[in-house]
Every structure is written in C-alpha cells, then in structure tokens.
Amino acid sequence: MKKGTYVIHGQSPEPRLRSHVLRHPEAPEGHAYLGWDREGFWYPGAAKSQAFVFPSFTLAQRYAQALMADGLHTWMPVAVDFPSWIDPNAHACRECGCVETFACPGRCSWHAHDLCSDCAKPAQLTSWAVYDRPRDQPGQVVARRYVGVVPTEDVLTAESIDAVRALLPAGLHCLPRQAADSPELVECWV
C-alpha cells in the first residue's frame, strides 16, 4: 500500500444518483451552502439544512459550473444523506436526475426517453490539481480532483509532493504551474 492518505467522500455504488448540495469551500461552515428561496432565486450563505439538494453529483456539478461562470463564487458538490428536493416520481434523466421542472443549466431537452441532451454529450475533462500547503489544509500537500472547473470532494494528501504524485491515478499527463496560477498550486494532472 502506498504511503499517504486517499480520501474519496460521497462514494456509493451508484454515485451519480446520490444527493449533493453545493458548498463554498472558503466560507464558514454554518453559512457555506447554496440555498433556493421561495421566489425562485439562488442565495449563498445558507445553512446545510437549508441548502438546495440536487439529485446527483452531475447535476450539482453543472449548476456549480454555471454559477461560477456568472461570477458567483467557487462551489463544490458535497454528498449528503438526505433526499433531493426534486420529486422522486417525476420523469427524470437516468444519469443526472434532471426533470422537466428542474432541467440542467441552459435548459436541456430529452435526447432519449430517459436521457437528457446534456448527458448525451461527451463527458467533461477530469483533472487533479496538486497544492503545496493550501489555506484549507495547511501543513499538507494536497491533490484535489476537478470535473471541468468545479472542485470535488475527492482529495489525496501526503507529506511531500512526490508522495502525492505517487497516489495519483496512472496514465495522467502533468501540466506545469503557470505564472497566473495561485501560489499554492504546484501542477495539474490530466
């Protein structure tokens, strides 16, 4: 077994079907979640118990990416053990769980009886970003998995950069740090 820690939160036999909320990784824990008000607007700063619950990682990731593109912070899908707010009896996409009344961002359509047009597209790029002692985990070297530009809960930690590299999945290609990147970022692997 390799030295270091390998933590993957929120995994289940069918992880795409597990409920998720969106969490702002740098916000205080009590007010770090994305809520949905009665007028139909998103609001940051909700308590976990008031967060909007998505039916899947995929749908939460799509909304996180859309909100980030609109300049509304960085959002990270976090698995939860309570049911989605979306009606479980509604006609839903088998991959992301979207329904007629709550579609993917940008309004997907039905590609097949149980598959939305967004899920019929090719998958987004998955990458690992390696950080040397980031603010949220000082004293550790951390690799965090991203889907597109959205961070996930999947984290590898070790005491050195070489030790984290040894934990990364095989077959990845290293992209060096760029001048405009965060100072904690060491490199990315795709």
Q: Is the pLDDT confidence value at 115 over 50?
A: yes
- Each residue of 44-80: pLDDT tens digit? 888 888 899 998 899 999 999 998 888 878 899 998 8
Phi and psi at residue 8, to the nearest 5°: -125, 110
Q: What pTM did the predictor assign?
A: 0.72
- Long-range contact set of residues 104-112: C-beta below 8 Å, sequence gap at least 24: 104/59, 104/62, 105/62, 105/63, 105/65, 105/66, 106/66
SS (H, E, C) 139-182: CCEEEEEEECCEEEEEEEEECCHHHHHHHCCCCCCEEECCCCCC
Residue 31 is predicted with a pLDDT of: 83
Residue 138 is predicted with a pLDDT of: 85
Residue 149 is predicted with a pLDDT of: 85
Confidence band, pLDDT 50/70/90 cuts, at residue 160: very high
- Each residue of 36-45: pLDDT tens digit? 888 888 888 8
Task: For residue 19, give the DSSP letter.
Answer: -
High-pLDDT (> 90) share of the chain, % = 42
Tell me how far the alpha carbon of residue 116 is from its chain's centroid: 20
Query: For the sheet containing 174-176, what is the strand order?
Result: 5-7, 150-158, 141-147, 126-132, 185-189, 174-176
Tell me how far the alpha carbon of residue 81 is from its chain's centroid: 16
Strands (DSSP E) along 30-108, which ranges?
33-36, 42-46, 76-79
The pLDDT mean for the chain works out to: 84
Confidence band, pLDDT 50/70/90 cuts, at residue 17: low
> CB-based contacts of 71: which residues, under 8 Å, 6+ apart?
none
Residue 13 is predicted with a pLDDT of: 36
pLDDT (mean) for 22-28: 86
pLDDT (mean) for 141-164: 92
pLDDT (mean) for 19-34: 86
